[in-house]
């Protein structure tokens, strides 16, 4: 959601900034703009729509050469997505330009104050308020850094601001509160980005900024302060992936590439997690064994796909540890006044580590004294930084808006957490844990076996190009997979898709079944006899009512075959781990169906990769 880029150095800023914006496109946006500092003036252009619109405009009406610049891709919150509301916003005197991510909550009184003083605002945005306030401070004699510190002390809400001053061409100043921003550290040049993808082709050395910090960037220096001007510092780190990881590598979509990266991602998520005796060691979990032994309740919070990873985790964690485990949508969590104590472990699952709903949930949990463990893919992001412990999923950058390898590696991290708790608390014997770990280590191979069926799934998708609704059924750990299969179709193919627990059919959803309706059925492995039988009966019931049944069942399972119009065979794995393989054909199906329907798979309409506002 909103991408921000800043640059100062000796390269042409326009190129660096536009390229940075391109790498942030995946976050979702509906307009784009740049501002450069050249010859004591701000030169800017901004356009509604895709980055290509901005590039076309700049090609027709060129901007002057400059080595300092800022850029923005906007996902509209205050005001429609049009040219006027696009960022950058420039003060009335044309001296200060600002880009912004987030929402300034007290924008109405600030706007009224400016209007009362005769300032004519051009846009409907909250950002323009910040531009005007900053410019007024600069015109009153403050340098841009001081102006930023002063203005930030007046703002409420969540924001990242990046500003340049026409009369101070060597300086870019930024600030952050509850919204992402990282600094890229170069040689004789420095960068700012909403995330490291913005500058990864220039440097892999980054500086993580804390809450309520202002950063001043020149070619040779990066200086961090608090909003009150007190000296402060960021945390330097090295990014462990490179540009090629953020490129499409010949695939048509980042999503497809990321689906095919899953065997590697799952293997990486498992790397180095146990010693030579098979004893799990989760170094990043900075909670003592005593603290983990005392945990009497687990609450998993997350949104969308991350929430479904949590639903799968519940089955595994309760089974292995016997600790009661609740799963809650992060945005519902704090509003129900959950019962939390020091012995409650809140597990926050987030690929991006920046989802505002999840962040607010963990802040609430910590305020109430609970411990928070993050399962996250993005090093240095806010959620792990504000948690007591973290398990990184090591999936590499996930660019497609639809989460795929992010989900699979979240599952792996959840399994590892469950097994680790079982080890610490002694609820499973070491050999039992080692057996599950061995099975997990076979998962990359099993996932690859599912990917090898891609052409079969693509053909199935092509047959359904005109389908307007699809249902998904599952039971036990297969139920969240039904939900995930449906979510993938909704967000990518824009068709009505629902996931149900198969046992719920007779309580209402079976009324939806009509001749020809495609229904994906995730059949539990035969190891769970009673579940397996019940699922097979459900398939018979819907087929009898005309549904077009597509069964996902383990190889050699002939029970579902007579009632399946199509059978997708899954490798034999245990019930709790089946989600890892069962979700793959559903991802492939959604990606291909959306492609066949002519949709933009990587940037589905109305969606943002990283939802940084509540």
The active-site residue out of 46, 257, 488, 609 is 609
H helices present in 528-577, as ranges = 529-544
Complex with ligand M6R: residue 135 or 491, whichever CB lies closer? 491
Q: How far apart are CA 35 and CA 5, in angstroms?
A: 10
Binding segment for ligand M6R among 241-249, 345-353, 468-476, 577-585 (CB under 6 A)? 345-353
d(CA 216, CA 440): 46
Least distance from ligand M6R to the Cβ atom of residue 589, Å = 14
CB of 338 to ligand M6R, least distance (A): 19
Of 329 and 449, which has the nearer Cβ to ligand M6R?
A: 329
DSSP codes joined into one string, 407-457: HHHHHHHHHHHHHHHHHHHTSS-HHHHHHHHHHHHTHHHHHHHHHTTHHHH
- Minimum Å distance from CB 396 to ligand M6R? 14
Residue-wise burial string across 73-110, b where 16 or more C-beta atoms lie within 10 A, e elsewhere = bbbbbbbeebbebbbbbbbbeebbbbbbbbbbeebeeb
Q: In Å, what is the CA distance from 563 to each residue of 326, 497, 537?
A: 35, 22, 9
How many residues are there in the chain? 614
How many residues sit in the footprint of ligand M6R (CB under 6 A)?
16
Q: How far is the CB of 348 from ligand M6R (least distance, A)?
A: 9
Interaction between residue 305 and ligand M6R (CB under 6 A): yes
Contact present, 572 and 555 (Cβ < 8 Å): yes
Catalytic, 488? Answer no
Write down the least CB distance from residue 363 to ligand M6R, Å.
15
Of the candidate spans 38-46, 303-311, 446-454, 496-504, the one that interacts with ligand M6R by CB under 6 A turns out to be 303-311
Nearest alpha carbon to residue 412 among 256, 528, 586, 581: 581
Alpha-carbon separation of residue 559 from 119, 546, 562 (angstroms): 74, 19, 7
Residue 217, strand partner residues: 172, 222
Instruction: Please tell me the distance from the alpha carbon of residue 272 to that of residue 441, in angstroms, as a whole number.
Output: 11
Q: Which residue is nearest to ligand M6R (CB)?
A: 304
Q: Which residues pair with 236 in a beta bridge?
A: 207
- Rounded to a whole number, what is the largest CA-CA distance in the chain? 81
Strands (E), 246-343: 297-302, 325-329
Helices 430-441 and 443-451: angle between axes, nearest 10 degrees? 30
C-alpha to C-alpha distance for 432 and 453, rounded to whole angstroms: 32
Selected from 358, 379, 409, 549, the binder of ligand M6R by CB under 6 A is: 358
Structure tokens given for 341 = 């104590």
Does the footprint of ligand M6R cover residue 263 (CB under 6 A)?
no
Sole window of 68-76, 235-243, 302-310, 513-521 interacting with ligand M6R (rule: CB under 6 A) = 302-310
Pairing relation of β-strands 157-165 and 96-104?
antiparallel
Q: Output DSSP code: residue 478.
A: H
Cα 47 to Cα 82: distance, rounded to the nearest angstrom:
7
**Minimum distance of ligand M6R from residue 399's CB (angstroms):** 12
User: Of 351, 409, 536, 612, which one interacts with ligand M6R (CB under 6 A)?
Assistant: 351
Q: Is 2 a catalytic residue?
A: yes
Residue 350 interacts with ligand M6R (CB under 6 A): yes or no: yes
3-state secondary structure of 176: strand
Out of 2, 152, 303, 414, which one is annotated catalytic? 2
- 12-20, 145-153, 347-355, 593-601 -> range binding ligand M6R (CB under 6 A): 347-355
Structure tokens at 58: 């700049």
Closest contact distance (angstroms) between CB of 357 and ligand M6R is 8
Cβ at position 32, least distance to ligand M6R in Å: 21
Q: What is the DSSP letter of 280?
A: B
Nearer to ligand M6R, 194 or 355 (CB): 355
**What residues between 592 and 611 interact with ligand M6R by CB under 6 A?**
610-611
If one asks whether residue 440 binds ligand M6R (CB under 6 A), the answer comes out as: no
224-232: list long-range contacts, CB under 8 Å, 24+ apart. 225/145, 225/149, 226/149, 227/149, 227/152, 227/153, 227/175, 227/177, 228/149, 228/153, 229/146, 229/149
Q: Which of residues 173-212 bind ligand M6R (CB under 6 A)?
A: none
Residue number with CB closer to ligand M6R (100 or 331): 331
Among 306, 313, 340, 497, the residue binding ligand M6R under the rule CB under 6 A is 306
> Between β-strands 96-104 and 172-177, what pairing exists: parallel, antiparallel or unpaired?
unpaired
Pick between residue 133 and residue 402 the one whose CB is nearest to ligand M6R. Answer: 402
Site for ligand M6R in 12-51 (CB under 6 A): none
Q: Judged by CB under 6 A, does residue 328 bind ligand M6R?
A: no
Examine residue 491 and tell whether it contacts ligand M6R (CB under 6 A).
yes
227 or 254, CB closer to ligand M6R? 254
Residues 396-435 that bind ligand M6R (CB under 6 A): 401-403
User: Binding segment for ligand M6R among 39-47, 284-292, 395-403, 469-477 (CB under 6 A)?
Assistant: 395-403
499 part of the interface to ligand M6R, by CB under 6 A: no
How far apart are CB 305 and ligand M6R at their closest, in Å? 3
Positions in 471-490 near ligand M6R (CB under 6 A): 487
The tokens of 238 are what?
Answer: 């090295």
Say if residues 266 and 234 touch (Cβ distance below 8 Å): no
User: Does residue 352 belong to the site contacting ligand M6R (CB under 6 A)?
Assistant: yes
For ligand M6R, the closer CB: 424 or 497 = 497
CB of 584 to ligand M6R, least distance (A): 14
Count the neighbouring beta carbons within 10 Å of the beta carbon of residue 46.
25
Active-site residue set: 2, 609
Which positions touch ligand M6R (CB under 6 A)? Answer: 303-306, 350-352, 355, 358, 401-403, 487, 491, 610-611
């Amino acid at each position: 959601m909103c991408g921000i880029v800043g640059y100062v150095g000796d390269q042409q800023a326009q190129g660096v900034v536009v390229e940075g914006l391109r790498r942030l496109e995946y976050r979702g946006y509906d307009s784009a703009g740049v501002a450069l500092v050249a010859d004591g003036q701000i030169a800017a252009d901004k356009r509604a729509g895709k980055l290509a619109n901005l590039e076309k405009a700049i090609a027709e009406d060129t901007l002057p050469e400059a080595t300092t610049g800022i850029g923005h891709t906007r996902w509209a919150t205050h005001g429609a997505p049009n040219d006027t509301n696009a960022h950058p916003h420039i003060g009335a005197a044309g001296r200060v330009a600002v880009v912004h991510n987030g929402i300034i909550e007290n924008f109405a009184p600030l706007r009224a104050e400016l209007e009362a003083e005769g300032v004519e605002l051009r846009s409907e945005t909250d950002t323009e308020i910040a531009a005007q306030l900053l410019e007024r401070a600069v015109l009153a004699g403050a340098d841009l850094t001081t102006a930023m510190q002063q203005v930030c002390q007046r703002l409420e809400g969540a924001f990242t601001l990046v500003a340049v001053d026409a009369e101070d061409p060597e300086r870019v100043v930024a600030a952050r509160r509850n919204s992402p921003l990282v600094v890229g550290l170069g040689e004789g040049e420095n960068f700012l980005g909403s995330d490291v993808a913005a500058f990864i082709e220039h440097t892999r050395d980054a500086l993580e900024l804390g809450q309520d910090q202002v950063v001043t960037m020149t070619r040779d220096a990066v200086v961090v302060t608090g909003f009150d001007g007190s000296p402060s510092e960021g945390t330097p780190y090295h990014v462990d992936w490179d540009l090629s990881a953020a490129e499409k590598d010949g695939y048509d979509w980042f999503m497809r590439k990321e689906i095919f990266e899953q065997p590697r991602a799952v293997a990486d998520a498992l790397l180095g997690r146990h010693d030579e005796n098979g004893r799990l060691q989760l170094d990043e979990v900075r909670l003592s064994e005593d603290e983990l032994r005392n945990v009497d309740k687990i609450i998993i919070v997350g949104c969308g796909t991350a929430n479904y990873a949590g639903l799968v985790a519940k089955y595994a964690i309760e089974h292995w540890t016997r600790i009661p485990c609740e799963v809650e949508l992060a945005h519902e969590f704090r509003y129900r006044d959950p019962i939390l104590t020091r012995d409650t472990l809140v597990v926050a699952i987030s690929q991006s580590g920046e989802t505002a709903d999840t962040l607010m949930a963990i802040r609430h949990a910590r305020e109430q004294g609970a411990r928070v463990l993050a399962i996250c893919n993005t090093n240095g992001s806010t959620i792990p930084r504000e948690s007591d412990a973290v398990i990184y999923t090591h999936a590499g950058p996930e660019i497609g808006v639809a989460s795929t390898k992010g989900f699979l590696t979240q599952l792996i991290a959840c399994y590892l957490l469950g097994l680790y708790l079982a080890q610490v608390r002694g609820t499973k014997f070491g050999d039992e844990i080692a057996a599950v770990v061995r099975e997990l280590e076979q998962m990359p191979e099993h996932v690859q076996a599912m990917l090898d069926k891609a052409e079969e799934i693509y053909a199935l998708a092509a047959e359904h190009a005109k389908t307007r609704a699809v249902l998904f059924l599952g039971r036990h750990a297969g139920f969240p997979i039904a939900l995930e299969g449906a979510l993938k179709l909704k967000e990518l193919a824009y068709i009505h898709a629902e996931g149900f627990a198969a046992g719920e059919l007779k309580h209402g959803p079976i009324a939806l079944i009509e001749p020809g309706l495609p229904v994906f059925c995730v059949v539990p492995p035969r190891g769970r006899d009673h579940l397996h039988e019940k699922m097979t009966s459900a398939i018979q019931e819907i087929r009898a009512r005309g549904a077009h049944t597509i069964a996902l069942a383990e190889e050699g399972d002939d029970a579902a075959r007579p009632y399946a119009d199509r059978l997708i065979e899954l490798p034999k794995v245990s019930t709790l781990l089946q989600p890892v393989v069962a979700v793959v054909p559903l991802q492939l199906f959604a990606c291909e169906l959306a492609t066949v329907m002519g949709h933009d798979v990587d940037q589905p309409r109305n969606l943002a990769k990283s939802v940084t506002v509540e």
